[in-house]
């Protein structure tokens, strides 16, 4: 059974940092591109970042470029999202998802609240 389990969310002050993790199991992690997708409260889905299967390529939405860093550890089957200089508008549930043409497996999501 495929599982993606996010962790590391919570309440953080504006301007501070937070690192999310996503532990994967049940599929060959190092064969898949991986992504983070967020959803602000009562809002729609927004793609945040993608990393290629081997970590050699990364892609970001404009609003997080220079602030967020996506990375992976294939030996640990774990995906990460380092979020720096957080803003109130980054408040959302963050999902990790595998990407095989489309976002085919999703985690349960982790809530990040940026507030003073």
Partner 1 sequence: EIVLTQSPTTMTASPGEKVTITCRASSSVSYMHWYQQKPGASPKPWIYETSKLASGVPDRFSGSGSGTSYSLTINNMEAEDAATYYCQQWNYPWTFGGGTKLELK
Task: Compare residues 16 and 89 and give the one whose CB is closer to partner 1.
Answer: 89
Report residue 17 as tokens.
């940092």
Task: Compare residues 101 and 116 and give the one whose CB is closer to partner 1.
Answer: 101
Query: CA 28 to CA 46: how far, in whole Å?
Result: 25
Footprint of partner 1 (CB under 8 A) = 35, 37, 44-47, 50, 59, 61-62, 95, 101-104, 106-109
Residues 6+ apart with CB under 8 A from 109: 6, 39, 93, 94, 95
Task: Compare residues 44 and 75 and give the one whose CB is closer to partner 1.
Answer: 44
Please state the φ and ψ torsions of residue 89, each to the nearest 5 degrees.
-70, -5
Q: Which residue has the tokens 């990790």?
A: 96
Task: Compare residues 17 and 28 and give the one whose CB is closer to partner 1.
Answer: 28
Closest distance between partner 1 and the C-beta of residue 33, in Å?
11
The half-sphere exposure of 57 on its side-chain side, counting CA atoms within 13 A, is 5
């Amino acid at each position: 059974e495929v599982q993606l389990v996010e962790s590391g969310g919570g309440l953080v002050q504006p301007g501070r940092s937070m690192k999310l993790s996503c532990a994967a199991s049940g599929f060959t992690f190092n064969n898949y591109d991986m992504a983070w997708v967020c959803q602000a409260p009562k809002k729609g889905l927004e793609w945040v970042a993608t990393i290629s299967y081997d970590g050699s390529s990364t892609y970001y939405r404009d609003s997080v470029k220079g602030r967020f860093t996506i990375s992976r550890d294939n030996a640990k089957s774990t995906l990460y999202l380092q979020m720096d200089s957080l803003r109130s508008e980054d408040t959302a549930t963050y999902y990790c998802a595998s990407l095989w043409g489309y976002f085919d497996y999703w985690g349960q999501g982790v809530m990040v609240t940026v507030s003073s």
